Amino acid sequence: MYNVEYIMSSPVFCITSEKSVSQAAEYMQEHKVGGLPVMEGENLIGIITSKDVRFHDPNRIVADSMSNPVISCESDDTIWEAAELLHEYKIERMPVLKSGKVVGMITKSTIMKHIGQLYDPLTGIYNSSYIYQVASKLLSEGHEISVVLFDVNNFGQFNKKYGHVYGDRCLKQIVKVFKDSIEVNCDFVCRYGGDEFVLISLRKINNVEKLVKIIVDSIAIETSKVGVSATISAGICGGQRKYARSEVKYYDVIENLINKASIASTKAKMANKSYFIETS
């Protein structure tokens, strides 16, 4: 449900390049849209938006007023990939393509609305839905991933002893450590549950282990800054490339990997270790 095709607007209202800007404006108003793909036969050759209409003479033709080349996305792109394109090119909307044909339109406001639903309001990072989407895409592309589940030790008792205010501050400091430690486009983190965080990484398992050590040690230091030091246990499960096949239900695969990482985290707690690597 986090691919563009599920949130794009369709059918698409298009216009041809020989039409006038005033006709484009009327068409936009009629269909209550802010932009029209410009077509030449079945080929997308430009886009004219309400902004283009405002800044061009109404008697000019669309071909002279449209934006070109066109920035577009694919229907199977994730909403995060689409959001990155909109941000990079500073545009408000773009056509959605499937097999080279225009099948929809996507806007920045629509994407931001859906992305907003995937944020954890307390910590400011994504929730579990995000991590499933990211991991599914990585596996489908044939990447080898490692999964780490971090669990704050005795967090329930921590809240009872020091209060939820300190508990919330502690979680925010933990997220700060994640943000300072991970590498963009290589590591992906979410708040999985109340006191649990999941990290998906493209690093080799030995490098993931090094990262986990840094995170665990840093959390003890950073959480002490809010008054009380918290400890965390981590479970690592890695080296999963065999699932990169189209017939596999990636959600089930990821759920299984996270479950293994959770079991490994419990083993770390029981052994009084900071982390445990699940190899089976």
Confidence of residue 219 (pLDDT cuts 50, 70, 90): very high
pTM score, two decimals? 0.76
Give strand pairing partners of 187. Answer: 201
Structure tokens given for 35: 């932009």
- How does pLDDT run across 200-212, given as a tens digit for each residue? 999 999 999 999 9
Show the DSSP H helices in the chain as ranges: 21-31, 50-54, 79-89, 108-116, 128-140, 155-162, 164-181, 205-223, 250-270
Confidence of residue 158 (pLDDT cuts 50, 70, 90): confident
- In the chain, what are the domain boundaries? 4-115, 122-278
Q: Is the pLDDT of residue 247 over 60?
A: no
Could you tell me the CATH superfamily of domain 122-278?
Reverse transcriptase/Diguanylate cyclase domain (3.30.70.270)
Asked if the 4-115 domain carries CATH number 3.10.580.10, the reply is yes
pLDDT at 141: 85
Q: Is the pLDDT of residue 249 over 90?
A: no
pLDDT at 89: 96
10 Å CB burial of residue 275 (0-12, 13-18, 19+) is: buried
Hey, which of 116-120, 176-180, 275-279 has the most confident mean pLDDT? 176-180
pLDDT at 248: 59
> Cβ(145)–Cβ(207) under 8 Å?
no
- How does pLDDT run across 41-94, given as a tens digit for each residue? 999 999 999 999 999 999 999 999 999 999 999 998 989 889 999 999 999 999
4-115 and 122-278 in the same fold: no
